Amino acid sequence: MKLVIPEAKRIWDLPIRVFHWLLVSAFILAWLTQGEDRYLDIHVFAGYLILGLFLFRIGWGFWGSHYACFNSFACGWRSVWRYLTILLTPQRQHFIGHNPIGGWAILLILGLGLVVTLTGLLTLGGEEQHGPLAGLISFAWGDIGHECHEILAWLMLGLIGIHIAGVLVESRLHQENLIKAMITGYKNTSTEDTASVANHSRLAISLILVVLSSGGSYFYGYFTQTAEHPYLPFIGPQLPDNATWREVCGECHLAYHPTLLPARSWQRLLNEQHQHFEEDLDLDAETLAELRQFASDNAAETHLTEPAWQIEQTTPLNQAPLRITATAYWQEQHEEIPKQIWQHPLVKFKGHCNACHLDAEQGTFEDAAMRLPQHSDFSQLSTKPH
Confidence label for 99 from pLDDT (cuts 50, 70 and 90): confident
Long-range Cβ contact pairs of 50-56 (< 8 A, separation 24 or more): 50/23, 50/26, 50/113, 50/116, 50/117, 51/114, 51/117, 51/121, 52/214, 53/19, 53/22, 53/23, 53/26, 54/23, 54/110, 54/113, 54/114, 54/117, 56/15, 56/19, 56/207
pTM of the predicted structure, to 2 decimals? 0.87
Q: In this structure, are residues 117 and 131 in contact, taking their beta carbons and an 8 Å threshold?
A: no
Architecture of domain 7-224: Up-down Bundle (1.20)
pLDDT in tens, 307-350: 999 999 999 999 999 999 999 999 999 988 888 888 888 888 88
Q: Which residues contact 370 (CB under 8 A, 6 or more apart)?
A: 37, 38, 356, 357, 358
Residue-level pLDDT at 386: 28
Q: Taking Cα atoms as reference points, which of 215, 247, 191, 150 lies closest to residue 6?
A: 191
Residue-level pLDDT at 192: 63
Residue-level pLDDT at 4: 53
Domain boundaries along the sequence of the chain: 7-224, 243-380
pLDDT in tens, 251-280: 888 999 999 999 999 999 999 988 888 888
pLDDT in tens, 155-190: 999 999 999 998 998 888 888 898 999 999 998 876
Residue-level pLDDT at 72: 87
Q: For residues 307 and 299, what is the distance between their CA atoms, to the nearest angstrom?
A: 11
